């Protein structure tokens, strides 16, 4: 047997195994993206070497045979086929070309739908009454889950008068994100394992032997296709069938669109790839279907999928990989965070080598261990996290991971977990890990916003003995920076200019940068407006601080404890000697002319930076949100504004103001005549 034949046989074995885990047992061992890679590798082998293709290959089958011992089998009168996938725009364009050739060059319109990450389901109604629900199974035979599907509140139990004698509806059962989160919260309180994702949770809910349990899971349904219909109207297009299903009372997804060409499919896919996380349910792609039913007949089917439809898959947000080790990082407040060291895996648009495990309790609840195969999730810009282990692949002899008792820093201080808190901390102020993280936080965008002073540079400065606290960055010289790896004269001068520029950041930025526990940007803005200078804030008593809007006794107490520590007072004086501005915001005694009004600022104004303009609005009782909505009173536009904000304001009819109009608004609270 050739090497290619051996690989093809191994791929068929793996795919069959994972088909059973996914479609039958609802306990997948790998993420969808990893499964897709196996199928695509086998398909390429069979395409390039036809002698390797077998009649019963997984590439020509749908799903897996049902687990008949658990639920009664149901034969689908109209087969439930799968869909071919396009992983990028090139493959989507190639599918569009195949459709065009199949129609002899005739242009096709397409219906674009969201690809719901759920469980395919067929619902059968006879004489207007719901009589059966069946899973897809292997496409020909599924499983009877009627009693469980009957608990889904959004599905009609009876159809309106005049409904077809028989109507079969295809769609996706899914678990809304809020229901999934509530389910996992209940599981955590009960000390039970958490579900990895809404899809697995929804599938598991449908396999409950007791429908009363399924009813508590709050499942939902979107329909997307007609199956068998007897006594129904004649249709010429797919979108007409969807409108008909909506008239019968079935939930039809509101985001479905009809487009004129493949370019329209591109646009639809691009929009939802960017906005997928604005939905209250999970999607993993979009589906494009030829709209005209007669054209579908001409295009026909392959052995497993229609030629007239395709699923455009988004980049994977979940993958499986090996967890090699669990280590602990120490933050600026001494908080220790466990993180997973992983075999590199491409997920969420980037290669992930480490992922957060949050805290000791989360490690215990998830029960992840070194050597485990784990599910890693990265959604957009969200920090990668380990969702949980694949228990069926856990190595024999594996032991639960124990949280360390000693800080990993050179001082090897004992770690402490205060009673009633979820976090374990290093309480040694001299801990070098805390020092480095304080500098990184001080320079971060939400604080002093020092471009070029990132984690790598801070570690270099620390290792060279050039900094002991954030104030030391203001004493750095070009010669010192040139002694560090990667620095040339231009980059050194650029960093020094950025450090110098940070001295004039608005007071809320400086206050946030101090890193006082619990004190974030919002409370810092309120304190700056109320007290005017850093000295006034640090000198105020706890009662005075606590009365400031958005502060309260917890943050007030934290500020007072911080300012009472000698090392912190020394740090503040070092900042003063370096020339850092301690207060350019006047105490707010201005009339609240903008009370209750939301004014969005975009770009840089002549007299104000964006941050200063926002503070001026808030000093007069207004709000300055980051985005434009129908509730926005006005949008102030300076140099290099955000185009999307201007466009949104124009769409909503929100007034757009220049520098002069903004000054009048601050004075009168009214829009210029």
Catalytic site positions: 115
Q: Confirm if 145 and 206 have CB atoms less than 8 A apart.
A: yes
Q: Specify the DSSP element, H or E, that contains 288.
A: strand 283-290
For residue 491 the two structure tokens come to 């980059």
| Nearest residue to 318 (alpha-carbon basis) of 278, 349, 360 | 349
Give the position of tokens 């769409």.
Answer: 651
Beta strand extents in 291-431 (DSSP E only): 309-313, 318-330, 335-347, 350-356, 373-377, 385-389, 415-416, 424-426
| Nearest residue to 669 (alpha-carbon basis) of 584, 589, 598 | 598
Q: What is the DSSP string of 502-541?
A: GGG--HHHHHHHT--TT--HHHHHHHHHHH-SHHHHHHS-
Q: For the CA atoms of 539, 544, 550, 553, what is the dihedral angle to 10 degrees? A: 90
> CA-CA distance, 389 to 320, in Å (whole number)?
9
Q: Confirm if 248 and 160 have CB atoms less than 8 A apart.
A: yes
Cβ partners under 8 Å of residue 408, min gap 6: 327, 328, 330, 433
Residue 409: phi and psi, rounded to 5, are: -75, 165
> CA-CA distance, 213 to 219, in Å (whole number)?
11
> CA-CA distance, 85 to 87, in Å (whole number)?
6
In three-state secondary structure terms, 650 is helix
> CA-CA distance, 536 to 533, in Å (whole number)?
5
In three-state secondary structure terms, 304 is coil
- Strand partners of residue 85: 311
Length of the chain: 673
- Strand partners of residue 174: 220
| Nearest residue to 633 (alpha-carbon basis) of 652, 608, 611 | 652
> CA-CA distance, 250 to 589, in Å (whole number)?
58
């Amino acid at each position: 047997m050739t090497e290619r034949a051996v690989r093809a046989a191994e791929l068929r074995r793996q795919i069959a195994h994972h088909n059973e885990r996914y479609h039958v047992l609802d306990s997948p061992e790998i993420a969808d993206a990893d499964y897709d890679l196996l199928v695509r590798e086998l398909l390429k082998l069979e395409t390039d070497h036809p002698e390797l293709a077998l009649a019963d290959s997984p590439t020509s089958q749908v799903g897996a045979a049902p687990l008949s011992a658990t639920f009664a089998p149901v034969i689908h009168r109209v087969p439930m086929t799968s869909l071919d996938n396009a992983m990028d725009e090139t493959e989507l364009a190639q599918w569009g070309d195949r459709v065009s050739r199949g129609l002899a060059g005739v242009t096709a319109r397409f219906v674009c739908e969201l690809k719901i990450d759920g469980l395919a389901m067929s619902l059968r109604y006879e004489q207007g009454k719901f009589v059966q629900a069946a899973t897809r199974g292997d496409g020909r035979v599924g499983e009877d889950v009627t009693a469980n599907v009957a608990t889904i509140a959004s599905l009609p139990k009876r159809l309106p008068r005049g409904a077809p004698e028989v109507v079969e509806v295809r769609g996706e059962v899914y678990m809304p994100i809020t229901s999934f989160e509530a389910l996992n919260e209940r599981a955590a309180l009960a000390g039970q394992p958490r579900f990895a994702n809404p899809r697995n949770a929804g599938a598991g809910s449908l396999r409950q032997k007791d429908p009363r349990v399924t009813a508590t899971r709050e499942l939902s349904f979107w329909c997307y296709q007609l199956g068998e219909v007897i006594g129904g109207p004649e249709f010429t297009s797919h979108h007409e069938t969807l409108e008909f299903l909506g008239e019968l009372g079935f939930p039809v997804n509101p985001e479905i669109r009809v487009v004129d060409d493949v370019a329209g499919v591109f646009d639809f896919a691009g929009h939802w790839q960017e906005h997928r996380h604005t939905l209250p349910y999970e999607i993993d792609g979009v589906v494009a279907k030829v709209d005209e039913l007669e054209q579908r007949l001409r295009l026909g089917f392959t052995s497993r999928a229609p030629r007239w439809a395709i699923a455009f898959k988004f980049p994977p947000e979940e993958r499986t990989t090996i967890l090699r080790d669990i280590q602990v990082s120490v933050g600026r407040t001494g908080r220790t965070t466990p993180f997973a060291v992983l075999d590199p895996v491409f997920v969420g648009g980037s290669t992930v080598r480490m992922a957060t495990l949050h805290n000791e309790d989360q490690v215990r609840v998830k029960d992840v261990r070194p050597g485990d195969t784990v599910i890693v999730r990265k959604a957009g810009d969200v920090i990668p996290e380990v969702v949980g282990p694949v228990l069926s692949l856990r190595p024999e002899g594996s032991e639960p991971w124990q949280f360390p008792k000693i800080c990993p820093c050179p001082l090897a201080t004992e770690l402490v977990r205060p009673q009633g808190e979820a976090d374990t901390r290093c309480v040694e102020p001299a801990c070098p890990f805390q020092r480095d993280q304080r500098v990184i936080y001080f320079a971060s965008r939400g604080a002093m916003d020092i471009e070029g002073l990132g984690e790598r540079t801070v570690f270099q400065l620390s290792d060279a003995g050039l900094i002991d606290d954030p104030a030391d960055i203001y004493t750095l010289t070009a010669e010192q920076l040139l002694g560090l790896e990667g620095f040339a004269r231009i980059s050194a001068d650029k960093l020094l200019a950025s450090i110098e520029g940070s001295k004039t950041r608005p007071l809320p930025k400086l206050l946030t940068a101090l890193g006082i526990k619990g004190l974030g940007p919002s409370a810092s803005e309120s304190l700056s407006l109320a007290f005017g200078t850093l000295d006034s804030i640090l000198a105020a008593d706890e009662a005075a601080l606590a009365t400031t809007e958005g502060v309260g006794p917890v943050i007030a107490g934290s500020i007072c404890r911080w300012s009472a520590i000698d090392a912190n007072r020394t740090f503040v004086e070092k900042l003063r000697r370096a020339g850092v501005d301690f207060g350019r915001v006047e105490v707010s005694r201005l009339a609240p002319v903008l009370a209750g009004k939301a004014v969005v600022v975009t770009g840089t104004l002549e007299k104000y930076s964006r941050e200063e303009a926002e503070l001026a609005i808030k000093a007069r009782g207004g709000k300055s949100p980051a985005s434009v909505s129908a509730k926005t009173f006005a949008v102030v536009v300076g140099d290099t504004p955000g185009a999307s904000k201007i466009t949104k304001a124009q769409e909503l009819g929100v007034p757009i103001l220049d520098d002069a109009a903004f000054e009048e608004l601050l004075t009168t609270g009214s829009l210029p005549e």
